[in-house]
Amino acid sequence: MNKSVEQLIQALNKEYEIYERVLEIAEKKKRIIIEGKIKDLDDITSKEQTMIISIGKLENIRTAILKNIAHELSLDKAENISKLIQHLDEENKEKVLAIKDKFNDILETIKDKNELNNKLIKQSLEYIEFNKNLLTSLENQGSTYGSGAKEKDVNINKNLFDAKI
């Protein structure tokens, strides 16, 4: 069983390393959103997708290892790490708990960064929408003089884009 627990710890450490990179990307994403660099945001998003695939693969490995440990401990199933550690010896329990705590911390930090990034994106979209509405809703009425020196209103096209379909 020690070998299986060691495999679990290795898988968790690899997964944690990926989450560290996800956190770095979340910080870069914040700067990119603030600076309005759409192309860079697209590049970051594709890097995130690659990491998500890697995390998914490690999740599958971790699940298989948990099943193996549950089998070795003669448990019906190991639903999660918290339930599994109750059946481990003190040394392995401490190792797994330490990694679990690290995960909780980094996942909370990533969650906070993502919430901030979502707010920044929402603000950017609201700003864009405001500007678009401002440009398209202005009633650009001017006046000019007609025959008889009377002022007459001239309606200027309100559409931002003058396109015919």
Are 18 and 55 in contact by the 8 Å Cβ rule? The answer is: yes
User: Residue 114, Cβ neighbours under 10 Å: how many?
Assistant: 15
Note the pLDDT of residue 28.
92
Q: Within 13 Å, how many C-alpha atoms sit on residue 121's CB side?
A: 12
* Nearest-angstrom CA–CA distance, 89 and 78: 16
51-77 pLDDT, tens digit each: 999 999 999 999 898 888 888 888 877
pTM of the model: 0.71
CATH number of 2-136: 1.20.58
114-129 pLDDT, tens digit each: 999 899 889 888 888 8
Return the domain boundaries, the chain.
Answer: 2-136
Residues near 153 by beta carbon (within 8 Å), at least 6 away in sequence:
141, 142, 143
13-28 exposure pattern, b = at least 16 Cβ within 10 A, e = fewer: eebeebbeebbebbee
Q: Give me the phi and psi of 75, to 5 degrees please.
A: -95, 150
